[in-house]
Structure 1
Amino acid sequence: MKTILVTIDGSDYSKRAMLKAKEIARVFDSNIILLNVRNTIIPYLAFEETQKYYHMLKDNSETLLQAAKKHFSDMEDKVELVSLEGDIATEIIDYSENNDIDLVVMGSMGLSAGLIQGFLLGSIANKVVHGIKKPILIVK
């Protein structure tokens, strides 16, 4: 297992996914790709406000990735950071299918997990599970 893709969004679930991915990477001496996807559905705003919102999303993604990389400080040379934009589930599926990924690790729910936590898989994780052809590990 050469490369593990870990999707991150800053939620507790994605933090648990990072810990599990790190554990697996140590056993198999794998490389880690930390992926954050920015959903670029921008609310109706004036042009200048839209630009500010877009740049804020990009900056937040970079900050999130840099913070996540610190969890892998003992294996920093094996960690790559990727920030994409678009539909989150679609981008995760496309990235994993178009790159040499051996395993995708993601949290069962993201930041928008609602009141029914524990009953259902989050909507993005659900879409990825049903749309991906690569092995995937969902972490609760």
Structure 2
Amino acid sequence: MYEHILFPTDGSDGAGAALEHAKNIAETHDATLHVMTVLDTTSPHIGMTAAGPAAGSTGMIAEEPSMTESGMVGEDHSVQAHLRERSEAIVDAAVDEVDTVETVTAVESGVPHSAILDYADENDIDLIVMGTHGRTGVGRYLLGSVTEKVVRTSDVPVLTVRLGDGDED
């Protein structure tokens, strides 16, 4: 029934709760589990500073053009390269949890829900398994929900796994 299962993850607790379900379904159907994350390059916060009430910035931009330290915009590697490394670590951590099934990994860039749906189409995905925080009302509306957008627009079934009260730290 299922040959290719997609597990999109952002490394959150909600995604972690869904991983066990994705693994069990993949084992049951001898399916390949595609583990992916999306590097959201549309975020307006990449490379920006955040001045706090205690003074100063996050340290992401040097005060002088000649000053650069690890993590600052303008150092030898870009912010996007750093974010890609973090994204790859998220995918690798998930794969380490599912060593009993065949896996394929991917780090995509773009708008998260669109990248997930594009990946599903391009890789003949039969089922998408996603975590959700279970927010409702204004909280969900203001924060948006990648999972909700995928559920509403996907051509393939989407299994959502809610982070339960006992799952949070």
After TM superposition, the score normalised by the length of structure 1 is 0.84
Residue matched to 1:29: 30
Equivalenced residues, count: 131
Residue matched to 2:136: 119
Larger Rg, first or second structure (1 or 2): 2
1:7 aligns with 2:8: yes
After TM superposition, the score normalised by the length of structure 2 is 0.70
Alignment partners' CA distance in 1, 2:77 and 2:36: 23
Contact 1:3 1:33 in 2 (8 A): yes
Q: CA deviation at 1:13?
A: 1.0
Q: Which runs of 5+ in 1 are unaligned?
A: 110-116
Q: How does 1:84-123 map to 2 (within 5 A)?
A: 84-109=108-133, 117-119=134-136, 123=145
Q: CA deviation at 1:130?
A: 1.2
Residue matched to 1:60: 86
Q: How does 1:38-57 map to 2 (within 5 A)?
A: 38-40=39-41, 41=43, 42-44=46-48, 48=74, 52-57=78-83
Alignment partners' CA distance in 2, 1:127 and 1:119: 14
Please report the RMSD computed on the Cα atoms of aligned residues, expressed in angstroms: 2.1
1:130 aligns with 2:152: yes
Structure that is richer in helix per residue: 1
Alignment partners' CA distance in 2, 1:3 and 1:119: 30
Instruction: Sort the Cα spacing of 1:129 and 1:32 in 2 relative to 1 into closer, same or farther, 3 A.
Output: same
User: How far does the alpha carbon of each residue in 1:58-94 deviate from its partner, in whole angstroms, 9 at most, with x for none?
Assistant: 000111111111101233xx11111001100110111
Percent of pairs identical after alignment? Answer: 31
User: Runs of 4+ in structure 1 displaced over 6 angstroms?
Assistant: none
Contact 1:33 1:79 in 2 (8 A): yes
